[in-house]
Protein backbone atom coordinates (compact mmCIF):
# COMPACT_ATOMS: atom_id res chain seq x y z
CA UNK A 1 0.00 0.00 0.00
CA UNK A 2 1.57 3.32 -1.05
CA UNK A 3 2.13 5.82 1.73
CA UNK A 4 3.75 9.17 2.31
CA UNK A 5 4.69 10.95 5.54
CA UNK A 6 4.00 14.70 5.54
CA UNK A 7 3.90 17.62 7.94
CA UNK A 8 0.61 19.45 8.58
CA UNK A 9 0.86 22.89 6.98
CA UNK A 10 -2.35 24.54 8.18
CA UNK A 11 -1.80 27.02 11.00
CA UNK A 12 -4.75 25.60 12.96
CA UNK A 13 -3.90 21.97 12.18
CA UNK A 14 -6.42 19.54 10.74
CA UNK A 15 -9.51 21.21 12.14
CA UNK A 16 -12.85 22.10 10.54
CA UNK A 17 -11.95 24.02 7.37
CA UNK A 18 -8.81 22.04 6.38
CA UNK A 19 -10.51 18.74 7.27
CA UNK A 20 -13.51 19.60 5.09
CA UNK A 21 -11.31 20.51 2.11
CA UNK A 22 -9.27 17.31 2.45
CA UNK A 23 -12.38 15.14 2.94
CA UNK A 24 -14.09 16.59 -0.13
CA UNK A 25 -11.00 16.01 -2.27
CA UNK A 26 -10.59 12.46 -0.94
CA UNK A 27 -14.24 11.68 -1.66
CA UNK A 28 -13.82 12.80 -5.26
CA UNK A 29 -10.80 10.57 -5.95
CA UNK A 30 -12.60 7.26 -6.37
CA UNK A 31 -9.95 5.51 -4.28
CA UNK A 32 -9.71 5.01 -0.52
CA UNK A 33 -7.16 7.19 1.25
CA UNK A 34 -6.33 7.10 4.95
CA UNK A 35 -4.65 9.49 7.38
CA UNK A 36 -2.87 8.54 10.59
CA UNK A 37 -0.73 10.15 13.24
CA UNK A 38 2.20 8.01 14.43
CA UNK A 39 1.11 5.22 16.77
CA UNK A 40 -2.61 5.59 16.03
CA UNK A 41 -5.07 3.78 13.78
CA UNK A 42 -5.64 5.31 10.32
CA UNK A 43 -8.91 7.10 9.58
CA UNK A 44 -10.84 7.52 6.33
CA UNK A 45 -9.65 10.72 4.65
CA UNK A 46 -13.09 11.26 3.08
CA UNK A 47 -14.60 11.99 6.52
CA UNK A 48 -13.91 15.45 7.92
CA UNK A 49 -15.11 14.34 11.35
CA UNK A 50 -12.66 11.44 11.43
CA UNK A 51 -9.84 13.70 10.23
CA UNK A 52 -10.53 16.07 13.12
CA UNK A 53 -10.39 13.18 15.62
CA UNK A 54 -6.70 12.76 14.76
CA UNK A 55 -5.95 15.92 16.71
CA UNK A 56 -3.10 16.74 14.31
CA UNK A 57 -1.82 20.27 14.84
CA UNK A 58 0.35 22.53 12.73
CA UNK A 59 3.77 20.95 12.27
CA UNK A 60 2.64 17.46 13.31
CA UNK A 61 3.57 14.45 11.20
CA UNK A 62 0.78 12.57 9.42
CA UNK A 63 0.99 9.43 7.29
CA UNK A 64 -1.16 9.38 4.16
CA UNK A 65 -1.83 5.92 2.70
CA UNK A 66 -4.09 4.27 0.16
CA UNK A 67 -4.31 1.89 -2.77
CA UNK A 68 -3.42 4.46 -5.43
CA UNK A 69 -0.16 6.45 -5.37
CA UNK A 70 -1.67 9.40 -7.25
CA UNK A 71 -4.51 9.65 -4.71
CA UNK A 72 -2.02 9.47 -1.82
CA UNK A 73 0.06 12.24 -3.42
CA UNK A 74 -3.02 14.44 -3.96
CA UNK A 75 -4.12 14.23 -0.33
CA UNK A 76 -0.54 14.55 0.96
CA UNK A 77 -0.18 17.83 -0.95
CA UNK A 78 -3.35 19.17 0.68
CA UNK A 79 -2.19 18.17 4.18
CA UNK A 80 1.06 20.06 3.61
CA UNK A 81 -0.67 23.28 2.49
CA UNK A 82 -1.93 26.04 4.77
CA UNK A 83 -5.61 25.56 3.92
CA UNK A 84 -6.63 28.41 6.22
CA UNK A 85 -4.69 31.03 4.28
List Cβ neighbours of 50 (8 Å cut-off, separation of 6 or more).
Answer: 43, 44
Helix (H) or strand (E) holding 60: none
Summarised one tens digit per residue, pLDDT across range 20-56 is 999 999 999 989 999 999 999 999 999 999 999 999 9
Q: What is the pLDDT of residue 84?
A: 82
Q: What is the pLDDT of residue 1?
A: 85
In the chain, domain spans: 3-80
Cβ contact 7:59 at 8 Å: yes
Phi, psi of 60 (to 5 degrees): -75, 155
pTM value? 0.94
In whole angstroms, what is the distance from residue 35 CA to residue 43 CA? 5
* Architecture of the CATH domain 3-80: 2-Layer Sandwich (3.30)
Amino acid sequence: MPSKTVVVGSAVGLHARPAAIIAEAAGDLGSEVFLAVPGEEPVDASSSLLIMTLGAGSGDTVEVSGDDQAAVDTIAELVEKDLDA
